[in-house]
Structure formats: structure tokens, C-alpha cells
């Protein structure tokens, strides 16, 4: 398809413009087939570092590498035709300095062709966000519960219940907005606070464990599809229950193989007479 006839994906600027227009639909994607299935229904596909836990069985996102993010970013880009695609900067790839953040963000954009990067942090990352956005790199912010900081914040829990926590999250959201981010994830934050932030900042808020009043919502696609039955956070809704379907299919496959009922003649290549 020529460049003229090719469908254009939503840009970060187009995502920003949706604030106040309609809710923004976002899901995570890590592979080409899943990206193809989700793309027609989403405004934004996030190649999240949650892939470390979802695909690799890691205990947290801290061990995720640049190479992992780039490989999965490339895979999602092969399947995305319409959605804005954002790739997470993994832990340790941007916190050291503005320059480090730029080098790694630029590498991700160059090697995947994605539309922007996401990083976690508030006031302490505002200067870095300014540095990146002023040099042509769209930034998706992330405040509230920040999984990359789970080792220093006491685990996964909802935030903003105390006046001190709430004030910090407000400052963080304001700082990242003023630094030039095009949108911001609010994660694991009590509902009234997430609602208040949504009403007071100029860029879209994308909630996960936050508020229905956020400008959009995001879920880990494997959670949304019900592929995990052993862990279901309060903020997750299973829109399908695929885990038992996959298990049942594997059971039936194993039985037919053991009974030599699969493959049948229709599944093999015969010599024509």
C-alpha cells in the first residue's frame, strides 16, 4: 500500500484532543496477533513493562530490559494500523539523567517506529519530560501507584488516602502536565482524588484502578480476557473467561493425540494417485 493510501494511526496530539470529547479506550498489547485483534477497538495500545509479569513470569516489572521492550514494541507495531502505540521505558533506562532518558527513548522510537514513550514519576521526572518533549519525543506520564517503585513504596496498594499522599499525587500530576506530557496514567489511586485530578489538569487522564471519571481507561489485556484466574485485582473486570477455554482445548488435544485420533486423514498430506 502506498503512503498516500495507508491508514494513519492516531497521534499523541490526537489523543490529547480527545479530552472532553469522549472516553479514550486503551489496552496493553505485547504481540502482533493480539495487536491486530485489539487495534480496531482501541485508541491507544500500550506496550507496557507489565509484559515482564504477564509474559515472562517475573515477580515485578523491575527486571524488564530495553531489549524486551523493543522486541515487543516491534511486534505490536506490525499489528497496529489505527491505534496510537506507546512503549514503556523500563526501570533504570531513564532515571539517571535527562540525557540517558533521551538516548533510550530515541532508541525505542527509532527501532520500533512507535508514537511515543511512557515513563513513571512525578515532580522528580518533570525536568526529564521537558527535556524529551522539547526534543521531539512524545511522553505519556504515569502517577499514583508506580510499579517500578514497588520496592520502595511498600508493595501494591491504593494511594491517596492520606492528605500527604493525596497532595503528592496532585503535585505529580500537575508537574508532568506542565512539563509537556500528552496524557497521563493515574494508577491505584482513590476515586475522589483521580476524579479531582481529571477535572483540574489540561491533558487526558487514563485510569487503571482510579475513577470512571478519568478521560479514558486502560487494562492489561490478559486480565481483561480472563487468562489469569489465580489473581484478580479489584479494578479488573474479566470481559471474557479464556483461561478455562484454553485449558479445555489443551485437554482435548492431549486426549486425541494419546488416542491417535489426531491428526486424522484430513490433517495429513497424501500422495495423489
Residue ranges for the binding site for Mg(2+)? Answer: 49, 88, 120
Q: Count CA within 13 A, CB hemisphere, residue 83.
A: 28
Question: Phi, psi (5° rounding) for residue 229?
Answer: -105, -10
Residue 223 to residue 215: CA distance in whole angstroms: 21
Question: Phi, psi (5° rounding) for residue 187?
Answer: -115, 145
Residue 180 to residue 199: CA distance in whole angstroms: 18
Query: DSSP of 30-81, one letter per residue?
Result: -SHHHHHHHGGG-SEEEE-TTHHHHTT--SSSTT--HHHHHHHHHHHHHH-S
- State the residue for C-alpha cell 535527562: 98
Q: Which residues are annotated as a binding site for 3-methyl-2-oxobutanoate?
A: 49-50, 88, 118
Q: Please list, residue by residue across 54-82, b when 16 or more beta carbons sit within 10 angstroms of its beta carbon and e when fewer do.
A: beeebebbbebeeebbbebbbbbbebbee
Whose CA is closest to 203, among 188, 175, 184?
A: 184
Contact 108, 87 (CB under 8 A): yes
Q: Which of 21, 187, 251, 266 is catalytic?
A: 187
Q: Is there a catalytic annotation at residue 187?
A: yes
Q: Which helix (H) or strand (E) holds 85?
A: strand 84-88
Give Cβ neighbours of residue 62 (< 8 Å, ≥ 6 apart): 52, 91, 148, 150, 151
Residues catalogued as catalytic? 187
Amino acid at each position: 500500500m502506498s503512503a498516500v493510501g495507508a491508514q494513519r494511526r492516531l497521534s499523541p496530539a490526537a489523543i490529547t484532543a480527545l479530552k472532553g470529547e469522549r472516553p479514550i479506550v486503551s489496552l496493553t498489547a505485547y504481540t502482533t496477533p493480539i495487536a491486530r485483534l485489539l487495534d480496531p477497538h482501541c485508541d491507544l495500545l500500550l506496550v507496557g513493562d507489565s509484559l515482564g509479569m504477564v509474559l515472562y513470569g517475573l515477580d515485578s516489572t523491575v527486571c524488564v530490559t530495553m531489549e524486551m521492550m523493543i522486541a515487543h514494541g516491534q511486534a505490536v507495531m506490525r499489528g497496529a494500523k489505527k491505534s496510537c502505540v506507546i512503549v514503556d521505558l523500563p526501570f533504570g533506562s531513564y532515571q539517571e539523567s535527562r540525557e540517558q532518558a533521551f538516548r533510550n527513548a530515541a532508541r525505542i522510537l527509532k527501532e520500533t517506529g512507535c508514537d511515543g514513550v511512557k515513563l513513571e514519576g512525578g515532580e522528580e521526572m518533570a525536568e526529564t519530560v521537558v527535556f524529551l518533549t522539547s526534543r521531539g519525543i512524545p511522553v505519556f506520564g504515569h502517577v499514583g501507584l508506580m510499579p517500578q517503585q514497588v520496592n520502595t513504596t511498600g508493595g501494591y496498594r491504593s494511594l491517596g488516602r492520606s492528605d500527604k499522599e493525596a497532595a503528592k499525587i496532585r503535585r505529580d500530576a500537575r508537574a508532568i502536565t506542565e512539563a509537556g506530557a500528552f496524557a497521563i496514567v493515574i494508577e491505584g489511586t482513590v476515586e475522589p482524588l483521580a476524579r479531582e485530578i481529571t477535572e483540574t489538569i489540561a491533558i487526558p487522564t487514563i485510569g487503571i484502578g482510579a475513577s470512571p471519571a478519568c478521560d479514558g481507561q486502560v487494562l492489561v489485556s490478559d486480565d481483561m480476557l480472563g487468562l489469569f484466574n489465580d489473581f484478580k485485582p479489584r479494578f479488573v473486570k474479566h470481559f471474557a473467561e479464556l483461561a478455562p477455554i484454553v485449558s479445555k482445548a489443551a485437554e482435548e488435544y492431549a486426549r486425541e493425540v494419546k488416542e491417535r485420533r489426531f491428526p486424522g486423514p484430513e490433517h495429513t498430506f497424501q500422495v495423489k494417485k
